[in-house]
Amino acid sequence: MNKAEPEIPVESGSPFLKGIVIGSLLGAAAALLFAPKPGREVRGALSDKFSAATDKTKEVAGIVTDTAISIATAAQEKAADLAGNVSAKASDIFTAVSDSKQQIAATLSDSGTAIAETVSDAADDVASIVKDASKEAADQA
């Protein structure tokens, strides 16, 4: 194997198959034209070969069409499933965020109430202490 071979891409697929089909048809036509048969038999054989090639082409086209339709349908179903999954996950995330927001708000409200009660109790205690100290100061004076 020389160094130039890896650099030359080998074409496969549709162009290659077209070349084989066209070459085969041309070879068959040339063989029939150069065969030692009368013109009428050659034309009949060519017509038969052309009809067979046409039928085979229609058959392959039908298979390709059916395959393409089934692939497109499967892709459409997968896309619809994926869209449904994404929508469901987005809805779940939105619900989770909303629930968390409500929990945080409730926690902050409860904390605010607890702090207010603690401050009120402390204020009452301070007022009581100040009142008692004031009374003692008045008694001592």
How many angstroms separate the first and last alpha carbons of the chain? 119
The number of beta carbons lying within 10 Å of the beta carbon of residue 130 is 10
DSSP assignment of 71-99, as one string?
Answer: HHHHHHHHHHHHHHHHHHHHHHHHHHHHH
Q: For each of the chain's 141 residues, which pLDDT tens digit applies?
A: 455 445 555 555 577 878 888 888 888 777 766 767 677 777 787 788 889 889 999 999 999 999 999 999 999 999 999 999 999 999 999 999 999 999 999 999 999 898 989 998 888 888 888 888 888 888 776
Query: Can you tell me the distance from the alpha carbon of 134 to that of 78, in angstroms, rounded to the nearest whole number?
Result: 82
Among left, alpha and beta (phi > 0; psi -120 to 50; other), residue 101 is alpha
What pTM did the predictor assign?
Answer: 0.44
Q: How far apart are CA 100 and CA 106, in angstroms?
A: 10
Give me the long-range contacts of 113-118 (CB less than 8 A, separation at least 24).
none
3-state secondary structure of 114: helix
What is the SS3 assignment for 3-55? CCHHHCCCCCCHHHHHHHHHHHHHHHHHHHHHCCCCHHHHHHHHHHHHHHHHH
